[in-house]
Structure 1
């Protein structure tokens, strides 16, 4: 199977040989038969038509019309008519021209030029031009050259130079060197040419250029497929990375929320130096404990007691409620409670069994207070049970008493809390 350029070389050679033979016939006719035009000489005219017929029907080399049987049969009929003078040669020339255009379209449609385009859109546009039977062949050829033009082969001059070099090549090795130099240009770009070493070895090994081109196209499609697969895998990898990052971010947020909650709880616990349970001495949960409301009220309102009375559970609270009797059974309701003294220098018992008030001892007697140079401004408000003034009570105790009910109401108004 001849390469395309070999067909072109054969075409040029056979065309030139035919033209030379026709000129010789015309010259011989003019010299031998003294005719002004060869059409006036039946003998020479037959010889001229037969030579033109042999150009197409008895061609020894493969050319564009080889194998186009119906066309050649039609040409045979047309040459017979031309020999008898019935048909003008211009009609035959036009028919040959039309058939050659059809061959050209068929040829380029089967050359795989779509693979030479730079994008799918260019390939689609190229196919539309190939399918346009109304487009003149010259215009189509120009469009195709523009679609597949390579900077390495800028114009037809490069192809003409290539053909001229092939004409002068005397050996197969010389032709192969021309192929390699034209297609891969190792002298112009050695580094790039090294990438095509496999194809150059195929040419040196005797493979046809068509098989080399097929290998290049196959490798190109394979590379494109691999690139597409690589891009798909890369996209999947990026998607997995995003999903992993989102998952890790979610875990980090949850972990931070747990840490924040624990930190807040620890901070909340650290704000309160809670004593142990008043009953079982168990450490208290800062988020879950009970307190004696009246103890808290007396401590907050009047500074009485030794701190809050707290419980770890309802059980301890109930046990203490039943067992303890603090400050005249302080867990009785405010309505039942007797008055409690708020006089600053006195520590009062509730009542003796008969109901009268005890004389109570101050923690520091008045003489001791004076000795310690502590200001004493309440002597006029006291009455004494002994001359040493170690036992005494307020002259008008009612001024220094408040009922638990009033104390509870005052506390609730001040704090907005509810004591039940």
Structure 2
């Protein structure tokens, strides 16, 4: 039987192990009682026939078990046990030595699991725990108790975990292998908030997938969730980098006192040089509070400004202060400048339940625009070069009646930062723009 590629249902292994240990213990005790009454030996090990029967029952526990347990697929270990039990029958080794060897193999299996299934620590953000655990797994001198302790440190150890596991194992056993009963139990245990009875945060897509597919095992559902979680852990640092970059830009703007003292002179000089359209000075009121906006200190949506400059029919979106900009700009971008790919956006496929990327000013450098749409005095945006490459062909066919080859898609788009810089420098060379 081939070894599965996904994490096993450990509670079913626990149930099987407890049952098989109990059965083995009962049979061995029965053999001991029978030997004492029928053979008259002081200890079963003194009776060659009964001692052989006892050892054979113990050997069958590990070599012929039909349930899936931790040792099921460790064939080399099975062969080694065969030799150890044969030696025990001839009193060349002891049962205690065999038990010690079994415990040693179980520890090796545990360490192997931690290497093979990194989802054990997918929820742990402590880099020290990850590094220390990897070092422990490769160091045979570090005890199993130390390894277990580090795992608990990484995932958190509930105070009543042992009792909870026992109770859950009893419920699984009571289901008797009924698929519908097990699914209801798994949904309640793994997808629901036990206090509110509602699905856990971000669990609904996985819950819907699991409950709508009767052939999906809980192992497969966990595998998908773990894979997505690991991918998100890679994406989150990238988002944090851009947020940090935006904050640095804002702090630099506020702290740059020298720029402020020279601002009046710079604006006066720029006013003599610039040639700008009236549309940039006939400003609408603040998009948030409705106040009149000072033309010498405008906070505006860069994409709207570029669209106006190329003659588009979309009006300017401006703010009277940085506070109004912070309060209203994210909503404006979310409503007016979302990725044109919609449901086909690559971000939807890569981050699961996460929302599509919103092209705020600080991420404008990453967005791409359709070149044909720029020529038609509008900006049609995609959140990334990859998203543009995968969706521009559909856009060209539907809106420009042009068929293009997939490998030529990049020639039909241009970076938004390039388009904006080109438009503003061409139309208003004297205007100074600060990216918020």
TM-score (norm 1): 0.54
Could you tell me which residue of structure 1 aligns to residue 112 of structure 2?
A: 106
Distance 1:183 1:229 in 2: 29
Contact 1:126 1:147 in 2 (8 A): no
Number of residues of Structure 1 aligned to a counterpart in Structure 2: 259
Could you tell me which residue of structure 2 aligns to residue 91 of structure 1?
A: 97
2:82 counterpart of 1:76 = yes
Q: Structure 1 residues 228, 252: closer, same or farther in 2, change over 3 A?
A: farther
1:121 aligned to 124, 128, 136, which one? 128
2:139 aligned to 132, 141, 156, which one? 132
Could you tell me which residue of structure 2 aligns to residue 3 of structure 1?
A: 9
Could you tell me which residue of structure 2 aligns to residue 207 of structure 1?
A: 216
TM-score (norm 2): 0.52
Q: Structure 1 residues 187, 235: closer, same or farther in 2, change over 3 A?
A: closer
Distance 1:258 1:3 in 2: 70
2:225 aligned to 212, 216, 220, which one? 216
Structure 1 residue 130, shift from structure 2 partner: 2.7
Q: Which runs of 4+ in 1 moved over 6 A?
A: 239-248
Could you tell me which residue of structure 2 aligns to residue 43 of structure 1?
A: 49
- Answer with 1 or 2: which has the greater Rg: 1
Q: Structure 1 residues 252, 232: closer, same or farther in 2, change over 3 A?
A: farther
1:64 aligned to 62, 70, 83, which one? 70
Could you tell me which residue of structure 2 aligns to residue 164 of structure 1?
A: 170
Distance 1:253 1:44 in 2: 105
Q: Structure 1 residues 34, 207: closer, same or farther in 2, change over 3 A?
A: same
Structure 1 residue 122, shift from structure 2 partner: 2.8
Structure 1 residue 25, shift from structure 2 partner: 0.9
Could you tell me which residue of structure 1 aligns to residue 24 of structure 2?
A: 18
Structure 1: segments with no counterpart, 5+ residues: 260-420
Deviations, residues 360-383 of structure 1 (Å, cap 9, x unaligned): xxxxxxxxxxxxxxxxxxxxxxxx
RMSD: 3.2
Distance 2:231 2:99 in 1: 46
Structure 2: segments with no counterpart, 5+ residues: 272-436
Q: Structure 1 residues 226, 46: closer, same or farther in 2, change over 3 A?
A: closer
2:265 aligned to 244, 253, 273, which one? 253
Q: Structure 1 residues 233, 20: closer, same or farther in 2, change over 3 A?
A: same
Q: Which of structures 1 and 2 has the larger relative contact order (alpha carbons within 8 angstroms, sep 6+)?
A: 2
Distance 1:66 1:161 in 2: 25
